[in-house]
Amino acid sequence: MVLEATGAESGGIGAIIKGVINELIGSDKTAIVVPFGHGMFNINQSVVDTWIVMLVLLVVCLILTTNLKVHNISKRQALAESIVTGLRKVVSSSLGSQAAEYTDYLIVVLGYIGACNLMGVFGKTPPTMDLNITVSLALMSIILVEAAGIRKKKVGGWLKSFTKPIWVITPMNILEVGIKPLSLCMRLFGNVLGATVIMELLKEMFKLLFEGIQGNFFIAQFARDGLPALVPAIFSLYFDFFDGLLQAYVFVFLTSLYIKEATETEEE
């Protein structure tokens, strides 16, 4: 009885916070229902959103790379070249010279995660807020890391690398194969989730704040209708642009560190 009474009373701000979080995490996100498999193969909204991201990236790439020339290049080609060389410099600086062939994969991941995180700017929930997406990205990363290690050191050397620097640490090294992708995906997921929750709460708060403004003057009308959209946009600069791109970079940076660690051969 007591519980019911408190449940009924929890209105106001608490209810708003609960509603926002429930809508972000709890609600069913199925976008396309597949007729077979009893809902096991249903496609989530986040996957559809990543298709949009892929399409946009693909179209941008196609626009930038059509009609490439060696001499007398166009402005478009100069832009494309500066983007590619800039990204390569950023990624390869942490990757080292030993594993330079993985640079382009990491650039693609950087662009993909960055574009996904930027979806929050357009009022959509970013696809990286879905654990399924970040888990698959982290699994791809750890498979690449271990495959790079096997390719460089052969199977024997790769197995032996678990006992480095001393044999006592072997269980830790084996655990790390699971911990690395777990920390990668949780970091990305948690950061994007946190930023999105804070942005949603800010939007609700400013809506409440400016709702109560009375009057029919132009300024009052602007404050009522315009400000709730404009003020969160300032915070969106930090939470969506800065944090989103930073997290994309951190993901790629850590993956490249792991690859560098896996492909390092000792000079003896």
Partner 1 sequence: MGSLAAIGAGLAALTGIGAGIGIGIATSKAVDAVARQPEASGKIMTLLILGGALAEATAIYGMVVAIIILFA
Positions in the binding site for partner 1 (CB under 8 A): 3, 21-22, 25-26, 183, 186-187, 189-191, 193-194, 246-247, 249-250, 253
- For partner 1, which is the closer residue by CB, 49 or 243? 243
- For partner 1, which is the closer residue by CB, 80 or 107? 107
Q: Rounded to the nearest whole angstrom, what is the least distance from the CB of residue 191 to partner 1 in the complex?
A: 5
- For partner 1, which is the closer residue by CB, 217 or 242? 242
**In which residue are the tokens 């640079």 written?**
103
Q: Rounded to the nearest whole angstrom, what is the least distance from the CB of residue 26 to partner 1 in the complex?
A: 6
The 3-state DSSP class for residue 216 equals coil
Q: Note if the bond before 165 is cis, omega within 30 degrees.
A: yes
Q: Rounded to the nearest whole angstrom, what is the least distance from the CB of residue 40 to partner 1 in the complex?
A: 20
Residues 144, 258: Cα–Cα separation, whole Å: 10
Q: Rounded to the nearest whole angstrom, what is the least distance from the CB of residue 258 to partner 1 in the complex?
A: 14
Residues 259, 145: Cα–Cα separation, whole Å: 5
What percent of the chain is helix, strand and coil (3-state, nearest 5)?
A: 80, 0, 20
Residues 240, 195: Cα–Cα separation, whole Å: 7
- For partner 1, which is the closer residue by CB, 2 or 166? 2
The 3-state DSSP class for residue 183 equals helix
Q: Rounded to the nearest whole angstrom, what is the least distance from the CB of residue 71 to partner 1 in the complex?
A: 35
Q: Rounded to the nearest whole angstrom, what is the least distance from the CB of residue 187 to partner 1 in the complex?
A: 4
- For partner 1, which is the closer residue by CB, 152 or 187? 187
* Structure token digits, residue 103: 């640079």
Contact 122, 252 (CB under 8 A): no
- For partner 1, which is the closer residue by CB, 103 or 134? 134
- For partner 1, which is the closer residue by CB, 46 or 161? 46
Q: Rounded to the nearest whole angstrom, what is the least distance from the CB of residue 254 to partner 1 in the complex?
A: 8
CA-CA-CA-CA torsion sign (188, 191, 194, 195): negative
Q: Which of 183, 193, 192, 189 is nearest to 132 (CA)?
A: 189
* Structure token digits, residue 122: 């357009």
E-only strand ranges, the chain: 30-32, 43-44
